Structure 1
């Protein structure tokens, strides 16, 4: 006896839109206390556009795009010795707003050296360049959204926002996610740095809890004895809205 399955509509999965950005916790574009925002902020009202397919898909990365030492800034630029400074590990998870880990996500990092000097021709700070430190690295998250890299703890440096302005020690991070709508560029600060509270850039953030999420606590459980201290920094990207599948809500 043959049992025929009833006809059902074809299964169609469309990428759901992402949650709108919460502008209550993001810094406004125009913040006169941060001087360069005055000329860089929009002069006209922002436009609200629907998310397009290209914004909800891609890019795709895999380990073939990475070098063996891309995640290790202690070794990936070293020529005749290791760089000078405090050896640290930075690790955490990349997840969406629903707490789901985001796998295969490209995390890129760049930073100043232990003296606060960038390897950039326009950086004229008097601190010396470390010949064994490039200050750039990248890695991919694993299946659970976990990432880590080794580096040297960066130093603070002066900048010309006002007289005697100093930026807290920080690491710049670029995270792609599985779509362009999730692209995030941010900075990670270090627990206990007194410069955080007086930094004009940090003070543009209107939400105190949002500022705290930019500060990485020391994590001795992930540290390597007699080698590296560790700092834990979780990163949250935008999450998708639920999508319809056979007239039922699926997913989050």
Structure 2
């Protein structure tokens, strides 16, 4: 496989271990034997490829993309940022998918039986494609906190789930974004499974007043860093081009 098609090794010390006893679900979900390290296949480093024509005009507008007889209830926000590789370069044309609970902390999912009501005008999911600089943006309703069955009185802080493909399956990332200033963050038993405090901090979006919409929406910035490529350059060109 050509050198320019390989990716930097992941730093496993930044990721939560598979088994973390304070997060009870991991006890049943974690593997019982050591994982194998395999060489990336050609398909994992060359695809998938997404195009703007595959997205709808309201895919990145969670305020309107499920509205039926009005707009959803809750605090309107804009979330934006850049998708970068480990060398700090923007990753263009990468699919960013996001999903979340509504303002009351309830998901539109048949298994969510939390007592907060379903918002008939909020679907809670969307997607966007990064531009040539790796930038993405969407607007939504700020999600609410909700309890979960981990320990007595366990609550999840407000968060948005993200799924990214990067430039190839080998960059695949699923993560969560939290909000600056949320007092529940330090009590979250899922976020605390990440051993590095600095790595946990990188999952918290910063309030960005410069991107806020006056009399409409606050804004939060959330930059996402994927794995980088080992590139060999010759006269400012990638070898082989």
TM-score, shorter chain, exceeding 0.5: yes
Query: 1:197 aligned to 2:186?
Result: yes
Q: How many residues align?
A: 238
**Residue 50 in 1 paired to residue 45 in 2?**
no
What is the match of residue 187 of structure 1?
A: 176
| Mapped partners of 1:14, 1:49: distance in 2 | 16
Q: CA–CA distance in 2 between the matches of 1:244 and 1:190?
A: 39
Report SS of the residue matched to 1:24.
helix
Query: Is contact 2:3-2:230 (8 Å) kept?
Result: no
Task: Give 1:7's aligned residue.
Answer: none
The answer (yes or no) to whether the contact 1:33–1:200 under 8 Å persists in 2 is: yes
Q: Is the 8 A contact 1:15 1:56 kept in 2?
A: no
- Does residue 113 of structure 1 match 2:102? yes
Deviations 1:185-221 (A, max 9, x none): 0000000111111111011000011011000011000
Q: Which residue of 1 aligns with 2:85?
A: 96
Where in structure 2 are there 5+ consecutive unaligned residues? Answer: none
The whole-number CA distance in structure 2 between the counterparts of 1:178 and 1:203 is 29
Give the structure with higher Rg (CA).
1
Distance in 1 (CA, whole Å) between partners of 2:34 and 2:24 is 20
> What is the DSSP-based 3-state SS (H/G/I as helix, E as strand, rest coil) of the residue aligned with 1:217?
strand
Provide the rounded CA distance (Å) in 1 between the counterparts of 2:223 and 2:70: 31
Q: 1:58-83 CA distances to partner (integer Å, 9 max, x unpaired)?
A: 00001111011000000000000000
2:5 partner SS = coil
Residue 214 of structure 1 corresponds to: 203
Displacement after TM superposition at 1:15 (Å):
4.1
Q: How much is the aligned-residue C-alpha RMSD, in angstroms? A: 1.7
* Contact 1:74–1:82 (CA under 8 A) maintained in structure 2: yes
* Matched residue, 1:5: none
State the partner residue of 2:142. Answer: 153
The 3-state SS of whatever aligns with 2:27 is helix
Given the superposition, is the C-alpha separation of residues 64 and 130 from structure 1 closer, same or farther in structure 2, using an over 3 Å criterion?
same
Matches within 5 A, 1:76-87: 76-87=65-76
TM-score, normalised to structure 2, is 0.95
3-state SS of the aligned residue for 1:38? helix
TM-score, scaled to structure 1: 0.91
